[in-house]
Amino acid sequence: MAKDDDMCPCGFASPYADHCATIHLGSAGLGATAEALMRARYSAYVLYDRPFLLTSWHPDTRPTSIDFDDNIEWLGLEIVDTESGGALDSTGIVEFRARFSRSGEHLELHERSSFARAGGLWVYISGT
């Protein structure tokens, strides 16, 4: 678990307590933008926060459970592009690269994630 004064795992230049923790703890809803939710979801993977990941997933596409691979070490997140997903939008796309190491091999997940508002809050729909 990240300490409150640790820099946020998502790479945003703020302490975890001032950034993704506010979203994880619900004080910032599920993020003001699709990108904020994407960053919070990345941090949740780093921190093994299964409940947040499931809560932030759209009910129509949410899996029944999430398994974590103990051999993965998350190394960093890069936001490549965003389309819509702002405070006044109802849908958005966030393209990102997440670097990780699995059993010593350095890999990258490159995804375009779709987000939408459900009940006024951003949720993750799916990614390609």
- Model confidence over 3-31: pLDDT tens digits? 556 899 999 999 999 999 999 998 777 88
Q: Which domains does the chain have, with CATH numbers?
A: 16-127 (3.10.450.50)
Give the Cα-Cα-Cα angle 39, 108, 16 (nearest 5 degrees): 25
Strands (E), the chain: 72-84, 91-102, 105-118, 121-127
Helix boundaries (H) for the chain:
20-24, 34-46, 50-55
Checking if the pLDDT of 118 tops 80, the result is yes
CA distance 42 to 40: 5
Residue 94: what pLDDT? 98
What SS3 state is found at 32? coil
The 10s digit of each residue's pLDDT in 44-81 is 999 999 999 999 999 999 999 999 999 999 999 999 99
Residue 114: what pLDDT? 98
